[in-house]
Structure 1
Amino acid sequence: MRRRQGFTLIEVLVTVAILAIVAGLAWRGVDGIVRTKEIAEARLDQVLRLNTVLAQWEADLAALHDTRVVPALSFDGGAARLTRRSEHGVQMVVWTLRGRQWHRWASAPVTRRAELQDAWMRSLQLLGGEPGDLAALPGVGQWQLYFWRNNAWTNPQSTGDQSAGDPRAQALPQGVRLVLTLAPESGLSGEVTRDIVLRLRAE
């Protein structure tokens, strides 16, 4: 009998088919791992950016400074305005929501009453794109602030939180609650709530 040598065509075809199936399964596995990694990295970036922006928000409130020249902290439903102590003076800071992006605007540090009053007036007329304006966080559907007064969270726009006279004389809250509602384009979902105890610095 002749010794059989090599492989038949059918054996080669079967082997090639098996290898193709294994390669296809392996490719799907690798592709799935790569996609999962990309999604995880994107989500991590989004979470890190959110935490960075919230840290800035907390830093602004931690440096809150009452000059008795303009309101140290106010919220009109659309924008939160505050005065904070900086290394070279006092800054006017505004947080506001424009087109599903949470913006932060900060004036240059000032040391004179008239300059601070001018910064306050400019803060009432912001349109976006001014020097000092930063699109801090995209994908925010809405936001709301609450003030802690008399052992309860209250709406800053409620009549109980508004002074009848000079707004500069308005008693500041002991705490601030921030509620951000994240939009789908943020890559995240749900609400983010941060409560901050105020430790006010006054002149």
Structure 2
Amino acid sequence: MLEQLLIETERLLLRPWRETDAAALFRYAADPDIGPAAGWPPHTSVENSLEIIRTVFAAPETYAVVPKGSGEPVGCCGIMFSESLHTADMKRGEAEIGYWIGKPYWGRGFIPEAVGALLSRCFDDLALDAVWCGYYEGNAKSKRVVEKCRFEYHHTNRDIATPLGDRRTEHFYVMTRANYTVLNVARER
């Protein structure tokens, strides 16, 4: 099992979820504009959020997104591996990054910052070959994150069943180790 760690960026701490985060999680995840865009139902109570922390968010490499100085999680990001529940058609040595953030924090660049840190974790620490990222048609904010983080379009799957029981079109993007290396070399110049 992978060691869950604290990842620090310029403005964020990415840390494991704690049971004491349930009220904060509920505050953001109950919003009907958050979960359904990503294919999951809004949380219905603090107890529902606590159960999500104990089950879904207990998965390795699942992080609370915490703005520095706040102490409170305002979103979630994580790395999902080929043997876990995911939507990309991954091979061994590949993973998918997923994310969401509470509406009061939209447009602040927190999720691209978190995804950048997870890409570093994937390629520098976990030695993965490729990282996938997908979003459902119509989720313009998620599309913007994928583009801002420099993933490359790979393919589109239509008529995909979601945990909400509906069917959607999902667009998949990928970043290979080679592309990540080139982007990092360009950033260092």
- TM-score, length basis structure 1: 0.24
- TM-score, length basis structure 2: 0.25
- Which structure is larger by alpha-carbon Rg, 1 or 2? 1
